[in-house]
Amino acid sequence: MRFLIISLILMSASLSQAEVQGFNEMIKEASVSEKILRKRLLRILNSSEVAIAANEQAQEQLQKSPSQDFEVKLVRVNQ
């Protein structure tokens, strides 16, 4: 009986350890995916055009945007 209890405890500890290792692998994969997505997003943002316009020209700039896939960033420059 004592052997059975010890075996059950060891077995549950092994299962818990395997589950934790599985979670660790999932976390590593998510971290790698996040880094890849972040690099892709930065590449997209760096390649997109930034329009410089005053507030009254913003709507016109959006309508003239060559791509409707990405929002045109409007930056107001104080001169």
Q: Which pLDDT band holds residue 50 (cuts at 50, 70, 90)?
A: low
Report the pLDDT value the prediction gives residue 69, as an integer from 0 to 100.
Answer: 54
Angle CA(74)–CA(39)–CA(37) in degrees, nearest 5? 100
Report the pLDDT value the prediction gives residue 64, as an integer from 0 to 100.
Answer: 66
* Per-domain boundaries in the chain: 1-47, 49-79
Q: Are 61 and 71 in contact (CB under 8 A)?
A: no
pTM for this model (two decimals): 0.42
Q: Are 73 and 47 in contact (CB under 8 A)?
A: no
For 75, list phi and psi in degrees, rounded to 5: -120, 125
Report the pLDDT value the prediction gives residue 72, as an integer from 0 to 100.
Answer: 53
Q: Which amino acid is at 73?
A: K
pLDDT digits (tens, 9 = 90+) for 4-45: 888 888 888 888 888 888 888 898 898 888 889 888 887 777
